[in-house]
Structure 1
């Protein structure tokens, strides 16, 4: 059910417009890779793609760094207000982002962050932190404390113990939650539509503009090519890290 629509989109991206309209389920007579180059250059998909890579790459790094640090502290240390902090993060997952769009718009406007990459990156990080902290807190609790204690006895500081000992041990969980965050941030449409209305648009905005423009041009092959270009990074990341995703989701289940 999932694979067939993807294969159909790839197959359609290699057809001519006439073949798409007259034989939508048939195989292409020849492979037209120029559809991809046309979608990349003439439809500005290339620029939108690079903008998305910059925004998602920076926001994913910030999310994983801040989320893992917060989750480690919540999982390993006792301090006043710990449960309040933890449930504040958990409560963030149940707060629909659509309810915050209007006040968020004015906050970003007052801070001169509208239509900027760094403003969108900060919003992506804040949007992804609740799930990241919730997921990694449970994962850090499953890791053995004896390793961290041995590192402390050897003279390692808390910072060194976290980055050189505990963080590598949490690699399966980091990859799992990282892929979930990558999918959510790569496919995010609502936030950039409201907060990034300038020229530096991301891929989801570019695909919507491409779909709207192709309705009048009839260049359906370029539209399918643009959709495939947007899907390839997501599929590639999952194919490469699928074992780590499964390991991260099942780790600690038998403890």
Structure 2
């Protein structure tokens, strides 16, 4: 074999290196496709509509009825000229019974939120980390519970609660809140626990820690972001809940803020106190809006961490 043939054989034996893969474009640097452009337009239009609606709500709460109907998007003037800019809020607070309703709502939402997370966390941990037989089917069953609108079960639920004398009762409403919120919270925390690293759990098992101690001492601190996210989402949802409170509560002393506002609506409309009615809506909406704006980053972080696996 000649030298040229030897070199050709050796060159043929050497594997051909593939060209390096072209790196992906950085987010935001890709060209806008027509579909993506349409999606951005829809999102920004929806955002602008909500900002406009929020501005109308806040501005309307400082206006007299004439300003609300004649100049709906103008800045409020008359009440500020009179020196009583918060007259609508004072009227709504005093006539809607928001004082007692505010205390009831805070206590009810706090108790229900803590109970929901306290029950959901160990359930989600068992479904996602302990290898329980049938855990996949049970997780799917929980997900199906998320897809059942509570409006479809509200009549049989009311009948069942009436038979055990838990209608027009804050404890009964508390139980309903907890039961209807468990599927979403368990599903959320299941995804979050699955995203946690296995090494720490294995190290705890090597050290002789029981599953209960591992959950309490190792996994719960790691899952703190997900637990806080679940608590915030549930608190916002229960704070604004109206239909269940409307069905299950009839006594003024038991009213939540949303239920008290519903009762206040007829009186405010009858007296043409539309500014007071809008102020009542603002009293309910603004606290949760401020809470969401302050904790938005934590909520988003908790939700995205739960999508790790």
Given the alignment, which residue of 36, 59, 62 partners 1:14? Answer: 62
In the other structure, the counterpart of 1:179 is 232
What are the within-5 Å matches in structure 2 for residues 61-80 of structure 1? 61-80=114-133
Number of aligned residue pairs: give it.
255
In the TM superposition, residue 133 of structure 1 has moved relative to its aligned partner by 0.8
Is 2:278 the counterpart of 1:224? yes
State the superposition RMSD in angstroms. 1.9
Structure 1 residue ranges without an equivalent (≥5): none
Structure 1's 254 and 61: CA in aligned 2 closer, same or farther, altered over 3 A?
closer
Preserved CA contact (<8 Å) 2:173 2:245: yes
Unaligned regions of 5+ residues in structure 2, if any? Answer: 1-48
Does residue 214 (structure 1) correspond to residue 247 (structure 2)? The answer is no
Aligned to 2:170: 117
Q: In 1, Cα distance between the equivalents of 2:217 and 2:290?
A: 28
Cα-to-partner distance string for 1:210-235 (whole Å, 9 max, x where unaligned): 22221110111211111111012211
For the pair 1:133 / 2:186, whether they are aligned, the reply is: yes
Q: Give me the whole-angstrom Cα distance separating, in 2, the residues matched to 1:116 and 1:46.
A: 19
Q: TM-score under structure 2 normalisation?
A: 0.76
More deviation, 127-136/104-113: 104-113
CA gap of 1:25–1:79, structure 2 versus 1, over 3 A, is closer
Larger Rg: 2
1:60 to 113, 127, 130: 113
Confirm or deny: 8 A CA contact 2:128 2:135 kept in the other structure.
no
Helix, strand or coil at the partner of 2:145? helix
Higher relative contact order (CA 8 A, sep 6+): 1
Q: TM-score, normalised by structure 1?
A: 0.91
* Contact 1:16–1:32 (Cα < 8 Å) also in 2: no
Question: Aligned residue for 2:71?
Answer: 23
How far apart in 2 are the matches of 1:142 and 1:227? 39
- Structure 2 contact 229–299 (Cα < 8 Å) conserved: yes
Query: Aligned equivalents of 2:221 and 2:89: distance in 1?
Result: 39
* Alpha-carbon offset, residue 59 of structure 1: 0.8
